[in-house]
Structure 1
Amino acid sequence: MAEIRYEAAAGVATLVLDQPDRLNAMTFEMWQALPALVARAEADTTVRVIAVTGAGERAFCAGADISQFGDRREGRDAIAAYDAAYARGCAALVESSKPSVAVIGGICFGGGLGLAMSCDLRIARADSRFRIPAARLGLGYAYEGVRLLVTKLGPSVTADLLLSARIVAGEEALSLGIVSALWEAERFGTESAAYLARIAGNAPLTLKAVKRALAELARPEKDRDVAGVRATVEACFESADYREGRLAFGEKREPAFRGE
């Protein structure tokens, strides 16, 4: 059964796209389930970072489950319902107060790449491949999705991905800014876990302030709450964690942040 599994340990909530026999393609029901899982991580005070990954070794996510297209992406109402579920799932990650990292091993295509781009960061195994094949399927790519890509990658890279529908290999994805770190397969598990642990060990209120700024910048300029961002920054300077960070620096030890 296709699902998104929720796992939490050591400050990291991991959402596992679990349909490996179909390269973790996202069903309509999986898109629907995503906001509640992000909300679960949001509500858990022990969670510092959200990771999104795919089950198995072959794929992060091959995109939308094409076996549902006849029912879910044909006809105006069905298409609108599907697009709304997709948009809500991606928005949940963008708008979460906790940083999110797509941990990509293998194929990352279509809606899977859209999901990965909704995360704040993307790290990948070196043999991963990236593609948005909408132009090969005759699909329309929603305005919001194009805007997100332009915000993250710029107009030229976005145009290349969407208009050529070509496959981008790992090293090129790193150079284009699609991913921010890349490791060979034998190091990927260890290095990706260390990357997540490093974020989880940082000051939660600082992470929240950065995340709030990123979320507001992803909105159209007229809708941005800059005052809200400034308030989260001020909260950092008023926190016990700020005092702890200064003490730890002076004492040359690791800080013990509590998010308060």
Structure 2
Amino acid sequence: MPDEMPNRALWDLRARVHGTTSGDRIYDVDSFLAGRQTLSALEREMVGEVAGKDLLHLQCHFGMDTLSWARLGARVTGVDFSPVAIGRARGLAERAGLAATFVEADTQRLPRHLAGRFDLVVATYGVLNWIGDLRAWMGGAAMALRPGGSLVLVDMHPAYQIIASLDPLVVDWPYGGGQAHRETISDTYACPGLEIEPQEAVQYPYSVGEIVTAAAEAGLTVTRLGEHVAVDLDPRSLLSRGEDGLFRLPFGDSHLPMLYSLRAHLPG
């Protein structure tokens, strides 16, 4: 795919930067090595008990969440297309003393040796907007599952992704459609204010309907779909935390969903 290399260059650079600079708001490696759990309450609830299960983490970056599942007792495999991220993930697993397998691969074309090996396939936060072929991604997730296994996806809601700023309100992103949108990125979400070497990036907007349909077309049965208006993290740093510690996306007298969560199983 012609769009892969620009995105890989961006994610190679982010994998070098994340967790290595002061002011990083997400990837605190030292506290992780000291035992910090990186998984949110929502994803832990959606995934459920993992002890003794085989878990495949798609788009795992440099492995902190993957290894957090390992700490909960899962046998984990992480996949990412960035060789820098995979190299760092393997090093982090060694430093943490945790068993894990990390595979360098495009999640739109998962290796066949992963087929039918997993009880759970998990992907969270900033996932499908980087995927040009949604059907291939869902098909790969289904291929990796054992019969009866489940895909769990927690990601940014399309209603949240369309908004560039709140004051003033600027909407600059389609709700869906899957068409490629190109831009040059010179910062990183984890380190506000840190400038990086500009990189071309390609992203793809999908509606909730398109995502659910792709899961169904891959042979998965959707058993749970949630849309969440009060969440404990703001993936895009657009909002202020409320007095209760949660983030909300205001819209008139109400709120728009910031995240969606999907659980689907492979029949059998």
* Shared fold (TM-score, shorter chain, > 0.5): no
Higher radius of gyration, 1 or 2 = 1
Higher strand share: 2
Higher helix share: 1
Greater length-normalized contact order (CA 8 Å, ≥ 6 residues apart): 2
Q: Tell me the TM-score normalized by structure 1.
A: 0.27
